[in-house]
A and B are shown apart, each in its own frame.
Chain A
Amino acid sequence: MKHQPTENNTEKNRANANQNFGLKEEEFDEMLQAMQKGDEDLFEKIFLAQFEETIAYLMRRYNADNAMAYDATMDAMLKFRRRLLEGKITYYNMRFLFTQMAGQFLTDAFKKKNKLSEIQEDNRVEDEYEEIDDVILDYLDIAWKGLGEKCSKLLENFYYKKITLKELAETLGKSDAALRKQKQRCLETLRSYFLKHYKH
C-alpha cells in the first residue's frame, strides 16, 4: 500500500500542537522569548500542568515509586528549562523529549541506587556519586545575600537566566570587556564571602 504525504495541514498542525503540550509553533516562540527576558510564567504553567501525567507515565513504564518519579520529573523540568534557554530545544515533539528526559533521570537514579547498595555492601566509598551538599548551598545562600544588588543580578542573569554578556552590557550601557571584569570580581567576592562563613 502506497501513500502520499498528507495535504491536510490543519490535521498536522493539531498533531504537532499535541506533541508540544498544546503549543503552536508561534506560541512556543513567544514562550521562549518571554523566558529569555526572564519571564517564565508560561513555561511553568505548561510544564507544571502536565507534571502528574509524566509521573504517572514513569510509574507505569519503569515501575517506579511516587517519590522517585516525582524527583525525576522535577529534574527533567529543570534541565528542560536550561536547555530551552540555551537554545538547544526547538519546536518539535516536546512531549516526547520531556518524558524521555525524565525517563533518563529515573534510569540514572535507579543505577545510582543500585550502585550505592553495592558500595554499602562492600564498605567502599566512591566519590563518583557525590553531589553538591545542601550545606554548601546553604552557605552559598548566606554569601549571596552579602553580594550587592549589581553583582547578584549580574551573576543570576548570566549564569542562570543565560542572558549573554553582550545583551547585559547593552542594557547596562557598558562595554562587554568592562562587564566581563565586573563579573570576575563578583565571582571572587562571592567566593571570599562563602569561605569566610563556611570555614568558621
Chain B
Amino acid sequence: MQHKKYTEGEELSADELESISETLIQAKFDRDKRKKWAQRLKEDYNIDKESIQKKPVFRLSKLAIAAMIACVFGIVTYGIITTTMSSYDSFVKNSIENLITIDNHAVVTRGDSVVDAQVLQAIEAYKTQQYDKSIERWKTIITSGKIQGFASYNIALCYLQKTPSSPEKAINYLIEARQTKTIQEEANWALALAYLDVNQKEKAKEVLQQIIASKSYKYKKAEALIILL
C-alpha cells in the first residue's frame, strides 16, 4: 500500500507526498463525517448500525390481516385503474414516457475520461430528445466494452421514446441489458412495456409475473397492469 511509505518515513517525491496525503486527509475527514452522521442518524432518525428500529407492529389475526391486505389491494388497484389509467393503452404509453435513462457514469466508468465524456454526450442528447444521436453515442460506448448493460438499457429507452418508436429494436437491447444484475430490475419493467407496445401480451405477462414474484422494481404497477391483460 502506498501509504506505508508515508507512515514508515521513506523518502517521497513531491507527487507521492501530495497523492498519499490527499488519501490520508480524505480518510481522516471521512471518518469524522461518518461519526457525525452516525450520531445524527441515531438521534434524529432512530437508525442504528446494529439494529434498524422496526416500527411497532399490532398483533392481528391472520384473517384480519388477509382481509386488510385484500381491501388495501382492492382500493389501490381500483384507484390506479380508475384514476391514473384511463385505459390500458394510456397506462403503457404513460409508463414508457416516464421511463428515464440512467446517468450512471459517475459510478461505473471509474475515472475513464474518454467513456465519461461519451456518456455525458449521450445523456445530453437524450435530454434534448436527440434520440438518434444518443443511440449512436451509446453504441460507441458499447463497442468500447464498458458499461454494456447500462448502455443497452439506455439505447432501448431511446428506441421506445423516439418518434416513430421502434419497440422491436428496444426489446433486443433490453434482453441484453437484463443480463447485467445492477440494471436487471429496471430492464425487466421496460421489457414488459416494450412487449405490450408491440402487443406481445403473453411475453409481457411472463416478465410481469417475474417482477411480481420477486417483488422487484415497479411490482405494484406490474400487479395492476397484469389484471388488465
List A residues at the B interface (Cβ < 8 Å). 1-6, 15-16, 19, 44, 48-49, 51-52, 55-56, 60-61, 66-67, 70-71, 74, 77-78, 81-83, 88-90, 92-93, 96-97, 100-101, 103-104, 127, 130, 132, 134, 136-137, 140-141, 144, 155-156, 159-160, 184, 187-188, 190-191, 194-195, 198-199
- B contact face: mostly helix, strand, loop, or mixed: helix
**Are A92 and B33 neighbours in the complex by a CB distance under 8 Å?**
no
State whether A67 and B25 are in contact (beta carbons under 8 Å apart), knowing that A1-B197, A44-B37, A100-B104 are contacts in the complex. no
Residue of B nearest to A144 (CB): B28
Shortest distance between the CB of B9 and any CB in chain A (Å): 5
Residue of A nearest to B34 (CB): A74
Specify which chain B residues have a CB less than 8 angstroms from the CB of A188 in the assembled complex: 17
Specify which chain B residues have a CB less than 8 angstroms from the CB of A15 in the assembled complex: 98, 100
Contact with A along B146-183 (1 / 0, CB 8 A): 00000000000000010111000000000000000010
14 contacts between A and B (CB under 8 A): A1-B89, A15-B98, A51-B45, A51-B47, A78-B33, A82-B26, A97-B107, A137-B31, A155-B25, A159-B22, A184-B18, A187-B17, A194-B7, A195-B7
Q: How far is the CA of A154 from the CA of B123 in the complex (A)?
A: 36
B30 interfacial by beta-carbon distance below 8 Å: yes
Specify which chain A residues have a CB less than 8 angstroms from the CB of B9 in the assembled complex: 195, 199
Which residue in B18, B28, B100, B161 is a CB contact (below 8 Å) of A93? Answer: B100
Q: How far is the CA of A97 from the CA of B14 in the complex (A)?
A: 36
**Are A187 and B93 neighbours in the complex by a CB distance under 8 Å?**
no
Contact with A along B177-219 (1 / 0, CB 8 A): 0000010011000000000010100000000000000011000
Specify which chain A residues have a CB less than 8 angstroms from the CB of B89 in the assembled complex: 1
- A contact face: mostly helix, strand, loop, or mixed: helix
Q: How far is the CA of A19 from the CA of B98 in the complex (A)?
A: 11
Specify which chain A residues have a CB less than 8 angstroms from the CB of B224 in the assembled complex: none
Which residue in A6, A74, A190 is a CB contact (below 8 Å) of B37? Answer: A74
Q: How far is the CA of A66 from the CA of B216 in the complex (A)?
A: 19
Q: How far is the CA of A130 from the CA of B7 in the complex (A)?
A: 14
**Are A71 and B163 neighbours in the complex by a CB distance under 8 Å?**
no
Specify which chain A residues have a CB less than 8 angstroms from the CB of B21 in the assembled complex: 155, 159, 187, 190-191
**Are A19 and B100 neighbours in the complex by a CB distance under 8 Å?**
yes
Contact with A along B88-102 (1 / 0, CB 8 A): 010011001110111
Specify which chain B residues have a CB less than 8 angstroms from the CB of A81 in the assembled complex: 33
Q: How far is the CA of A104 from the CA of B106 in the complex (A)?
A: 12
B114 interfacial by beta-carbon distance below 8 Å: no
Specify which chain B residues have a CB less than 8 angstroms from the CB of A1 in the assembled complex: 89, 92-93, 197, 199
Q: How far is the CA of A2 from the CA of B162 in the complex (A)?
A: 10
Name, among A19, A127, A144, A187, the residue most crowded by chain B CB atoms within 10 Å (CB to CB): A187
Specify which chain A residues have a CB less than 8 angstroms from the CB of B108 in the assembled complex: 104
Which residue in A2, A19, A49, A51 is a CB contact (below 8 Å) of B165? Answer: A2
Q: How far is the CA of A130 from the CA of B89 in the complex (A)?
A: 55
Name, among A56, A191, A194, the residue most crowded by chain B CB atoms within 10 Å (CB to CB): A191
**Are B17 and A48 neighbours in the complex by a CB distance under 8 Å?**
no
Shortest distance between the CB of B29 and any CB in chain A (Å): 4
**Are B102 and A93 neighbours in the complex by a CB distance under 8 Å?**
yes
Q: How far is the CA of A99 from the CA of B192 in the complex (A)?
A: 23
B144 interfacial by beta-carbon distance below 8 Å: no
